[in-house]
Amino acid sequence: MTVHSQGAVTSAPQDAPPKSAGLPETPAPATGTGPTPPRGGGKSLPTGWLPYLLVAPAVLALATLLLYPLIKNVILSLQDINKVEFIQRKYPFAGIANYTELLGDSTFWTVVVRSFAFTLANVALIMVLGSLIGILLNRLGKKMRLVLSMALVMAWAMPIVASVQVFRWLFDEQFGVMNWVMRTAGFSGYEQHNWMETGLSTMVIVTILVVWGSIPFVALNMYAGLTTVGAELYEAARMDGANGWQTFWKIVFPNLKPFFLITTFLEVIWVFKAFTQVYAMNKGGPDRASEILPVFAYVEGQSQAHYGLAAAISVLTIVILVVVMSFYFRLILKQEEEQ
């Protein structure tokens, strides 16, 4: 509303933009939503195809390195191929005979139970000890944290075969350090004691090796996760009188639950398919009493020349691992939905 000098009142629209004196009006931009044509007159690819083109090299590599061998392995598991058939290049079709033989073999189920027990013991020790060391890293001073982190990285970076050889020296029957330690501590019967005399003792040594080599991954990731937890949460817990154990379960674990889920998931996969540590330590012995599924498949295929049966073992190993992991996938997806 505008008041003139004579007193007359006139109305004006309230949403009219003010005009700047002396400036030309700029035309309104075009409201069209069509794509800008490419320079040079070339045709652009449809937008929907771009993501597929970007992931195509990775998919092709995975199909070549993983999918094709897996399909060939499944086909091999359906054939009755032993040493004679392999030399004669004959590949008789056996159907599910290899799977039927395995599922009815008590030795196979013994190896399955041993594999699960081995995985459960290793993952539990790795997660508990790795988490404790990660908490220790978070509480140490800068210099001691650096020293411990370097030690963890060096243990993690050590080649598996080299670490197996070191452990074989430690538990050597004649010159092993462990026999010397036990004798020094006053225990009798450790003069040239064979630590790998039984399958159980061999699996214990392999478990120590696997845990030692896997703790750095969990500890360093645990420390990295703890740095994301706000200091005010710890302060509030202390003010409420919470002890260390209560602080962990009420503050640390809820905030790092995704870390524990995904780390445990990875550790289960890595331990369940562990081959080098078990085979290099004692070749699955004595008397095949320390074999787990990957070693069992290798021995059947390479040492016993039962190629079709070994392929069936590897396929069943994959199936068992997928079934076990499906329950864990449900936990991870449920966690994501809750967030």
The DSSP result for 228-258, as a single string, is: TS-HHHHHHHHHTT--HHHHIIIIIHHHTHH
* Residues 194 and 173 sit within 8 Å (Cβ to Cβ): yes
Residue by residue, DSSP assigns 181-233 as: HHHHTT-SS-TT--TTSSHHHHHHHHHHHHHHHHHHHHHHHHHHHHTTS-HHH
Q: Please tell me the predicted confidence (pLDDT) of residue 37.
A: 54
* Residues 294 and 283 sit within 8 Å (Cβ to Cβ): no
CA distance 309 to 78: 9
Element containing residue 321 per DSSP (H, E): helix 307-338
**Residue whose C-alpha is closest to residue 313's, from 84, 76, 63:** 76
Distance linking the first and last C-alpha atoms of the chain: 54
Under DSSP, is residue 295 helix (H, G, I), strand (E, B) or coil?
Answer: helix
* Residues 315 and 74 sit within 8 Å (Cβ to Cβ): yes
Q: Is 39 exposed, middle or buried (0-12, 13-18, 19+ CB in 10 A)?
A: exposed
In the predicted model, residues of the chain with pLDDT beneath 70 are: 1-47, 335-336, 338-339
Please state whether the peptide bond connecting residue 92 to the residue before it is cis, i.e. omega within 30 degrees of 0: no
User: Could you tell me which residues are beta bridge partners of residue 9?
Assistant: 3
Q: Please tell me the predicted confidence (pLDDT) of residue 43.
A: 55
* Tokens, residue 112: 């399955």
CB half-sphere exposure, 8, CA atoms < 13 A: 3
CA distance 212 to 279: 17
